[in-house]
């Protein structure tokens, strides 16, 4: 698969309930890595890098999972996605590990994110 799903992120109004549910269902290890201003829970499934995260949803936003798709260059795929009818919800943004991500909405209204080097 040339562009695999590499990460999943849950935004929800009730992070505590989500932790209890998904941790219990899948035996995921959940670790708080955020702070009071930016709460964040990393999801681990065995050894290896985190497979996802949980965070509070924006006010009035519905709970949703957002898949992160690994790409060769975030900027290139943002341009291609726009050309194909996507809208950009979050412009390319650098992460602490110096990788980049962008959040888009596909032409059907479904959110997804791109992750990888910027260009």
Domain chopping of the chain, boundaries: 10-55, 66-119
What does the pLDDT average to over 44-68?
A: 94
Give the long-range contacts of residues 105-108, CB within 8 A, separation 24 or more.
106/81
Q: What pLDDT is attached to residue 1?
A: 53
Classify domain 66-119 at the CATH superfamily level.
2,3-Dihydroxybiphenyl 1,2-Dioxygenase, domain 1 (3.10.180.10)
The rounded radius of gyration (Å) of the Cα atoms in the chain is 15
Averaged pLDDT of the chain: 94
What is the b/e burial string over 51-75, where b = at least 16 CB atoms within 10 angstroms of the residue's CB? bbbbbebeeeeeeeebbbbebebbb
């Amino acid at each position: 698969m040339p562009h695999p799903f590499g990460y999943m992120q849950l935004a929800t109004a009730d992070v505590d309930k989500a932790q209890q549910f998904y941790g219990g269902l899948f035996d995921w290890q959940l670790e708080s890595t955020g702070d009071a201003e930016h709460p964040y829970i990393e999801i681990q499934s065995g050894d290896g890098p985190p497979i996802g995260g949980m965070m509070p949803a924006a006010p009035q936003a519905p709970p949703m999972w957002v898949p992160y798709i690994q790409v060769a260059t975030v900027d290139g795929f943002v341009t291609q996605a726009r050309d194909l009818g996507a809208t950009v919800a979050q412009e390319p943004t650098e992460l602490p590990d110096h990788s980049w991500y962008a959040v888009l909405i596909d032409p059907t209204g479904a959110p997804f994110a791109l992750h990888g080097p910027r260009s």
